[in-house]
Structures are given as C-alpha cells and as structure tokens.
Structure 1
C-alpha cells in the first residue's frame, strides 16, 4: 500500500505538459503578391504597420508562447481583409478563436489612436494643388473636398437596438467621410447609429463647427441630403437652364470621388460590409480600416513618421457615442 502511494505522488496528479503547435509564418512563406491578396499589404508595409503599433502591443516576455507584434498585426489584417468568422481566422493563423477577438480589439484600438496623425485636411499651402486635381477631375472650380456618409452594417446590438436600424431596415453605423481627389480620407466621423440622418451628423461634427467660424478657402461638394452653405455646394434639385445642367454635371463628376472612395474602402477591407460585434467595437474596427486605407493610398506618409513612435501613445482615438 505504501508503494502505491509513493508512485501516486511521484506521478504528480493533474499535471500535463503543454504542447505548443507551430504557427504559420506568412511573412516567410508568401510572396509579395500573395501577401497583398491575403492581407492587403506587402512585406514592407506590414513591418511598417507593426512598428507603428509596437509600443502598445509588444509583450514584455515570450512566456506562454506569446504572439509577436507582427503576428498580431497579421491576424488583424487578415480579419480586416476578409471579414469572416473568428474561427476561420483562427484556423488559418494557428491560434484560438478567443485570441483572434482579443488581437483584433487590441490592434484596432492601437490603430485608432493614430487617426489624427494620418487624417489631415488640406492646409493653406496644399489647397492650390487640391483645387487643381479636382478641376481636372470634373471641371468644378474651387473644390477642396467631397463629403458623404456610408453605412457599416453590424449585428443587432444588445442595447438601444432600435437606434441602429437605418432606412433600409438593417442595423448599421452611419460613417461620415470627407475625401480628396486621390481617394484619401481627410476627415471622418465614426460614432452615430444608422438611424441618424446625414445632415445631423454633419451639423454635429467638429468640421462643421470649425468651418462655420473660420470659413475655408474653397468649397466642399455634397449631395442633396446636406444643407447649402457658403462653403458647401449641393446640386440643383431640378436643372431648368443650360447653366444649371452644366453645374450639376460638373458637380456630379467631381463628387463621384467620394463614391469611389467608399467602394475602394469596403472592397479593400471586406469586414466593413458586415461586422459581428457591438457598436463600440465596430467603431474601433472602422477607424482602424480608415487609418490603414490612408496608409495604402498615401505611401509617402511613411516618411513623415519618426523612427520611434512612442509619443503616439498619447493620441486619443476620436470615436465614441453621442451622450443622451
């Protein structure tokens, strides 16, 4: 009997050694074209994005087989690119489903904090060049931006569900975007439920408040859902004269840049077609995709970032929900 007890204690009841499976290494096994197809970015771009978010995502140790920053960025980019279930991402990246959810949340928050760095409205020194690009696009003079809203569909939230039902009967976040002629995003508002009208989002935005006080040196083009202001030009509801028809045609050719921008954004990041998360998480993911879109559309921005981006930790993400 004593011998059996001795063997029992020697076996250390309940202990089982953890076995870690080898994770895929996309950066080593895929070509540049294959990386673009799966993650929407190449090797250099992925490393650049990883350096941007490294201060927030870097683990202090490698205990418990911790994910590297590059692996976290790849998991998030894979989700942004295809927008499928977490289980599918987990199977392809060699991690657990809950890990994918935590990584997407962490990476989205880190990228959202960079919003003010990558979204800038044209300055006084850039306005002349912006006007020229817009005029070449649609013969519309004095244009410095185009504005429109797009809906990011989400699953029915657990709280205030009715506020997120848009005019098409689907739950969504109504996202306001201002773009330039190069399809880069210069301003955004990501906070309002889908039932809120475009005009209200515009009136409540910081862009409206600032430009009402300090009128810009140019005009922003908008559709008929927006108010007509000295710095906001909308089309004629009914063109009765040849000059009004020419104006509407030029307005439409120029304003279609924001329609193309919305299409490119949702095609590049398919997750924005439907997000299976709560509204707060949907706003974070949308902001992250907006930052990544500008990185993809403006590669020259990489030269503007300092080598050590530790100061970016102090930049607050500009998202949230209106107070009741």
Structure 2
C-alpha cells in the first residue's frame, strides 16, 4: 500500500533523521548547550587568571602539606595532609604554590636555631613567617613575590666611608672621584631618568655605580640591588658614564708634543740611558666569554678566550695610545699592523716622531725607523747585543702600567657578563682613561698590581725576513757601544 505502519496507527508521518525540521531542532539544542558550557568555562577561567603584567593562570591551591625533610638549594620535601587534590609527596621551594601546614612553623624555628650560618638563619626566618601566613598570600602578584630587596641609602653609606674603606672599595681616592663627579655634573649627559618616570638619578650616584662596577667583579644584578635600581637601569647608567669618560679621553690619553715630548724623552734618557725615546709598546690580554661566532680566533696561547689590548706608555706609565678589541689568537705584530697608530706612523711619521725620536718594543715587534725592538735571542747574540737588550727592557714600563691598570680595576680579571666586543672595548678604553686621570691627579691609592707575564709571543713564520730591516737598531747599538 506504500503507507508506513506509524501513519496507519497515528495518522501522521514519522519524523526521520533526514527531516529538515528535526535537524533544525537538534542544532538549536546543541548550540544552546554549547553556549551554556562556554559561559561556565569563561567564568572559571576569569577566576583562575592572575591579572597584571603577563596574564597567566593563577597557581592552583594544593594543600595543606607538611614539611618532611630539608633538601639542598632551598628545597623541601613535603607530604600531603588529609584528602585533597594533589600528589601525596613532592618537593617544593618557598615560592611554590603548595601551601605549607602552619603546624610546621615550630619545625622551621628549630632548623633556624640549629643553624650556625647567619644567612641561613635569615632564610629560615623568612620561611617560617611565610608558613605562618594564611593561604591568601598565594593571591599576591608575581611581581611582589619575585621582587629583590634593594638598598635605599647606599650612597649615604658610601659618603660615610672612611678614607681607607673608600679606597679599598673604589680603588681610587675620594679626591679623584669628587673631581670626576664635578666634571660629570657639568656635562649634558648626566640627565638620566628611569622609564617609569621616577626622579632623575644624581650624577654622583651614576659615577659611584660606574666606578664600583669597574673596580669590582660584581654583576649588574648585584650593582642594581646595591644602588636601589633595576638591572636594566644599572646597565644603562654604566654605559652612559663609559661614553662620557671616552668623550673626554682626548684630554688625558694623547700623544706627547712640544714640552711634553721633551720631558718624556728626558725621563727615558735618565732611566734607560737611551736618547730619543718617547714611549714603549706592548700588548696584554683581557679574558672574555667565548664568542658565538668565530670563537676559535679568540682562543689565545694560554688557552683562554680573550681580546688584545695594545698600548704605548710614556715614562710615567701613562697611556699615550691604546688599541683594543683584536682577537686573542693574533700575534702582537699583527695587532700592530691592524691598529690606527700603525697607519698614522706609516703615513705621517715626521709629525709623530720629530727629531728622529722613536718607541721601544720587545722581540715580538718588527724593526722600523720609529720602532726599535730588542734582538731576538737565537743563542748567537754578541756581548754588545746582550747589553743592548738589557738596556732596552721596554717591556718593564708597559707591564707595570698594565699591572697597575688590572690591579686597580678588577673588572679586567674577566668580563663575565659581556659578549658584545664593542661594549668590552669601551669599558677597557674608559679604564685606561681613568688610569691616566689617577696618575695626573697624583692619586696615591695603594693597589696590588697584577704582574704581567713577560713570556715572549711565538714568532710568525716570516720573522727572519722582517729581521733584515734592522738598520735603525744597529745604528742605535753602535751609538750606545761607543758611549760605553
């Protein structure tokens, strides 16, 4: 008959899954349930989101727990108390989101009293106070939880230092530092305000931070905590003062001319018995972290990653020319040829070295009209050449200058935070300028000089060919031999 049994019984056609009306009804019910569930999910998410910098889920409360044992590095093994969501046993730090049972305050107090270390006692005291607080403390902002304590009056503490304490920390006298602060206050570069709009940092504080960082081996984070600023502000202040010191460097690191040239030649003549000397040249290495790119060229012969500092020093151990940043594997003679001094001496020798003056160097350097090195000892030196080498001990004055520089500014022991070679070179250049300022101002601060090694550089392959150009040195040897 072609009539469905349902229609015979009810007189109506049965709705199947293909019925458009039925499909529409099912879709409406499904959408309504989805909207209801979505609102519930949104509401739960809002309750668990910690608003503030970097929106993220609030740490879920798990607890209470009790401390079972103390672990190394400020961690604790805890066990579940009662029945609740969370692991039965786990390990946490004092910053963990698992609540510590308040009954363990007595345990923490006992651990505090049994500790002999004052720092450990202070840590346990803080942990005990945290355990005594209610679980509502977990709702504090993350910024407040991780904020480092900062010194608010460290500058006043420095001002109250005695002279000896001041010199031991800053490695220079208060008079020298006051001179630098006065010069810096006059400049336009001391107007420094934090990005948050806080009050401008005084010039004295900025200079204190720069010299403290240069004279010690602390990190930027430690420097920031000491002076009550952020790490980024500490870094920016040091960089700003470094740039200012370099901007006035031409006043203190300069090539001798006129009366200054005559004075330094006279002093070298008194000390070395060699006429016409205006300086001595040598190199030193500054240890750095391995570079990401081409790090092999910074690996020196002492198996450290380093950069080379080339300096020319006068009779008073002042730097009259500096060149920094070449890789540690480069030979001294190669560093010389890559320096600006080499190009100036080659193109304009008469203005740099008037009246046939010259500088002294060790056996690593080539012999030039303006540069007289000692004779290389291959086992066949004549008595006159041996005597000449003893007289021309140029490396001593340069090594003493480098030793005073590294002894005064302990940052030179190693640059642990910097990989940027430009930043390292700028810090080194500013330290050399500070070294000259200390000498010019007669800073009598007693320091422990870092004695430089006098080991000769390995000779490059073409060394014998370069020895053939020693006419100027032979002439000087003849003059000294006749005088003796």
* TM-score normalised to structure 2 length: 0.55
Of residues 11, 36, 57, the one that matches 2:167 is: 36
Aligned residue in 2 for 1:314: none
Task: Identify the residue that residue 151 of structure 1 maps to in structure 2.
Answer: 285
State the Cα RMSD in Å.
2.8
| Distance across 2 between alignment mates of 1:59 and 1:274 | 28
For residue 166 of structure 1, what is the aligned residue in structure 2? 300
Which residue number in structure 2 is paired with residue 10 of structure 1? Answer: none
| Structure 1 position 63, deviation (Å) | 4.7
Question: Distance between the aligned counterparts of 1:204 and 1:27, measured in 2?
Answer: 43
Distance 1:160 1:57 in 2: 37
Structure 2 residue 152 is the aligned partner of structure 1 residue 22: yes
**Structure 2: how far apart are the matches of 1:148 and 1:271?**
20
Q: Offset of 1:80 from its aligned partner?
A: 0.7
Answering whether residue 402 of structure 2 is matched by residue 262 of structure 1, we say yes
Q: Secondary structure at the match of 1:176?
A: strand
1:206 alignment counterpart: 340
Report if aligned partners of 1:26, 1:35 keep a CA contact under 8 Å in 2: no
User: 1:153·1:275 contact (CA, 8 Å) conserved in 2?
Assistant: yes
The question of 1:50 aligning with 2:181 is answered yes
For 1:256 and 1:223, how far apart are their aligned partners in 2? 10
- 1:20 is displaced (CA, Å) by 8.6
Kindly state the Cα deviation for residue 195 of structure 1 after the two structures are TM-superposed: 2.2
* Structure with the larger RCO, 1 or 2 (CA within 8 Å, 6+ apart): 1
Bigger drift between 93-102 and 54-63 goes to 54-63
Structure index of larger Rg:
2
Measure, in 1, the Cα distance between the counterparts of 2:175 and 2:439.
15
Q: How does 1:274-293 map to 2 (within 5 A)?
A: 274-276=414-416, 277-278=418-419, 279-293=421-435
Alpha-carbon distance in 1 for matches of 2:184, 2:291: 29
Shift of 1:115: 2.3
Q: Take 2:331 and 2:208, find their aligned partners in 1: how far apart are those partners?
A: 36
**Pairs within 5 Å for 1:99-248:** 99-212=233-346, 213-215=348-350, 216-217=353-354, 218-238=357-377, 240-248=381-389
Give the drift of 1:247: 0.7
Unaligned runs of 5+ residues in structure 1 are: 1-12, 302-324
| Contact 1:82–1:269 (Cα < 8 Å) also in 2 | yes
User: 1:251: Cα distance to partner?
Assistant: 0.5
TM-score (norm 1): 0.80
CA distance in 2, matches of 1:247, 1:26: 54
Match 1:272 to one of 402, 409, 412: 412
Q: Count residues in correspondence.
A: 288
Alpha-carbon distance in structure 1 between the residues aligned to 2:388 and 2:434: 34
Tell me, which stretches of 5 or more residues in structure 2 are unaligned?
1-50, 53-140, 444-484
